[in-house]
Structure 1
């Protein structure tokens, strides 16, 4: 096993897994609070990629070339706009159907996903889009002939991903908003009786999940440089797999599942076969669910009597 190949695949896997983990947070938070899967979440991530490109193009048009300024402003603008998308999806696709059979909001979310894909395809075109490299440069490790490298963007990606997860975990565990979210998750009716605005909390959860997807969209777009209107589907499926793998409903589980999935894909691609990396990833999920149906960090559901 060559040192540089192993090191490079671990770096790539960590970066990829961090992104899966961030997007998986949206799935796990929505499921945790309303017990449903937001199948439009992957397309929210896709929207963030386009907003990133548009924001960078506008800022560059006005002569702004500072990498730090470009990234910070793009992050802020994308988070705000994409959070509004998350809020709108909850209001349009979920709130009117909250007391309907569970299949109704599921179909509604799939409908929103298709609407977003087609809306972007018509408005932005079906061609693959690209953004320029904003933060060039790499760190090299190893000897002159046997080395692997980490780009500045990959470092930024991993640091921002883990910082975002740490901040979100702090909000959920230590703040009044987090306590209200946990109360609504455990018993919505009792939370409402105690004076918690459950509608507001559910909307807030959708906003937080969309914000995490927005951060992921900005980082991935800067890292890979290209995207199209269909990028949300496969990435969304992978992130959902990460959420289930780690234990859907668990924030640490979402990040752990993302890292495991990203590492598995990367190592399999580097040492076995790139064409079958998805097969390997989903096979890993099947094995985990056979031996631990609740996921790695998930808790078995206890039925209330």
Structure 2
């Protein structure tokens, strides 16, 4: 019983990272119908924001030495600024282009950010341990110990998901965002300022990227120029699985993909564990064959059927 609880806690913690990342992808897709693969690189920017290169190109911990009440907002602000910059420079000029052009542009932005990080920091992984106290295990019950960072990750995800749900459903700006996601043209005719709504979607995606970056670095203690890319790939699969037209579906998909990943890692035979991802994506394919529209269908998706 204890081992099952341990697996469930691990699954929820990993699913929280995927859910937050998938939610960021879903926010931008809902507004612009853009699958922004550069979302993962925003996470990478948040991670590397912890260090400042010296004149000898040797990275020294800087922001990572700040108190967390200053460090976390600083990293989130940097990611928000980067997200808004990509929206203004790369995506706004081609906003009316076809989806393929937007997709290629997102890949271009992604590769640009990766190569910029390589130019400044080189491709060598760097140590950037933060919140060392969270690496200690917390005993929840006899025989059940959980790293503190997993509890923090789960709690942060719950608070952010609840806060975002409140914002989208209970505020005027959130209502405008939902209106634009359902019918962009009609929302503009009714007076919704599209530029503001799109910028807000990118800003929220950047804030989520910064939060994920802090949690990811606190968990791994390592920086790599592709650290956010693989997370974004899993988040994309989670978004598709949950439902591209539903933010609730994106979050649900994140928890499903994270849970399946942990369960497979825990219960697959030792000789099959290196092929965990093959089993994971195989299950995702089967689920999509069963429900090609995703696990949760948003209102906009129902209207298109």
What TM-score comes out, normalization by structure 2 length? 0.89
Counterparts of residues 259-274 of structure 1 (less than 5 Å):
259-272=255-268, 273-274=272-273
Q: Tell me, in whole angstroms, the C-alpha distance in 2 between the residues paired with 1:198 and 1:217.
A: 28
Structure 2: runs of 5 or more not aligned: 53-58
**2:80 matched to which residue of 1?**
83
**166-175 vs 187-196, which moves further:** 187-196
Distance 1:112-1:183 versus aligned 2 partners, 3 A rule: same
C-alpha deviation, 1:282, in angstroms: 1.1
User: Which residue of the partner structure matches residue 302 of structure 1?
Assistant: 303
Does residue 99 (structure 1) correspond to residue 103 (structure 2)? The answer is no
Q: Is the 8 A contact 1:52 1:218 kept in 2?
A: no
Q: Tell me if the contact between 1:5 and 1:270 (Cα under 8 Å) persists in the aligned partners.
A: no
Residue 96 of structure 1 and its aligned partner are, at CA, apart by 0.8
* Counterpart among 35, 38, 41 of residue 37 in structure 1: 35
User: What is the alpha-carbon root mean square deviation over aligned residues?
Assistant: 2.0
After superposition, the C-alpha distances for 1:121-147 in whole angstroms (9 at most, x for unaligned) are 11112111222252243212454xxx2
SS of equivalent residue, structure 2 residue 254 = helix
Q: Would the alpha carbon gap of residues 271 and 32 (structure 1) be closer, same or farther in structure 2, given more than 3 Å must change?
A: same
1:206-263 superposed Cα distances (whole Å, 9 cap, x missing partner): 1111111111110111112113001122111001111111112322222211111111
- Alignment partners' CA distance in 1, 2:175 and 2:297: 19
Tell me whether 1:154 sits opposite 2:158 in the alignment.
Answer: no
Q: Deviations over 1:149-181 (max 9, x none)?
A: 212221111101110111111111110111111
- Structure 2 residue aligned with 1:113: 110
Conserved in 2, the CA contact under 8 Å of 1:29 and 1:249? no
Q: Tell me which moved more, 116-125 or 45-54.
A: 45-54
| 1-structure distance, mates of 2:248, 2:155 | 16
- For 2:62, the equivalent position in structure 1 comes to 58
Instruction: Decide whether the 8 Å contact of 1:21 with 1:239 is kept in 2.
Output: yes
Dislocated runs of 4+, deviation >6 Å: none
Q: Distance in 2 between matches of 1:225 and 1:28?
A: 28
Query: In 2 relative to 1, CA 133–233 (structure 1 residues): closer, same or farther, beyond 3 Å?
Result: closer
**1: CA distance, partners of 2:107 / 2:196:** 23
Task: Give 1:27's match in structure 2, choosing from 25, 28, 31.
Answer: 25
The answer as to 2:70 corresponding to 1:73 is yes
For residues 244 and 48 of structure 1, the distance between their equivalents in structure 2, rounded to whole angstroms, comes to: 25
- 2:61, 2:229 → 1: CA distance? 25
Q: TM-score with structure 1 length normalisation?
A: 0.89
2:252 matches 1:251: no
CA-to-partner distance for each residue in 1:2-43, whole Å, 9 max, x for gaps? x45433332222111100000111111111111121111111
Task: Name which of 165, 168, 181 aligns with 1:169.
Answer: 165
Task: Describe the superposition over 1:61-84 as per-residue Cα deviations: whole angstroms up to 9, x where unpaired.
Answer: 6xx6xxxxx223221011111011
